[in-house]
Structure 1
Amino acid sequence: MNILKIFSSNVRKYRKIKGFSQEELAFISGLHRTYISAVEREKRNISLVNINKLAEALEIKPYLLLLEETEHENE
């Protein structure tokens, strides 16, 4: 299991579900657009604080960003 790949994939998936661009997600979460881009490209080892910021911006529980697709595809 590659947690960075799972996390980045989930951030991208939930961002697209909300209809946000990376720039919009960055603005809402209080993070920088290039940081969001790096997270989605598996280039950043994100902190718990920033995981929570992204989850709040995406209006989801933080743990959903860490689950593999098969674990939460029915939620």
Structure 2
Amino acid sequence: MALAQTFGRNVRETRQAKGLTLEQLAHDSGMSYSYVGQLERGQRNPSLRTVERVASVLSCAPLSLLSPRESRPGPVPITE
């Protein structure tokens, strides 16, 4: 699976697990609804800044959004 598709699938799974709508994620990350939808469908390649913004809103480590499901147990919470 290509990285864009892995990222999109992981974003969708994490967003849904946290009970956020696509609209909420888009608003909270400062991105358009259509762009976030394209990210989730693997139709856009996210920049590192985009990965960080999405991970921040989802309160998870950026790497957890980029890692294939087989190699990750689930969203990794950010610890400070």
TM-score range, shorter chain: over 0.9
How far apart are the structure 2 equivalents of 1:46 and 1:3? 9
**1:1-75 equivalences in 2 (<5 Å):** 1-73=1-73
In structure 2, runs of 5+ residues without a counterpart are none
Q: Which amino acid aligns with 2:3?
A: I
- The offset of 1:42, in angstroms, is 1.1
* TM-score, structure 2 as length reference: 0.87
| RMSD between superposed Cα atoms in Å | 1.2
Percent identity (aligned):
33
Alpha-carbon contact 2:6-2:42 (below 8 Å) kept: no
Residue by residue, what CA displacement relative to the aligned partner does 1:13-71 show, whole Å, maximum 9, x if unpaired?
A: 11001111110001111111111100011111111001100000000010101111111
Q: Which amino acid aligns with 1:17?
A: A
More helix by share: 1
Q: Which amino acid aligns with 2:71?
A: E
How far apart are the structure 1 equivalents of 2:61 and 2:6? 15
Q: Which amino acid aligns with 2:16?
A: K
How far apart are the structure 2 equivalents of 1:51 and 1:39? 10
- Write out the 4+ residue segments of structure 1 that deviate beyond 6 Å after TM superposition: none
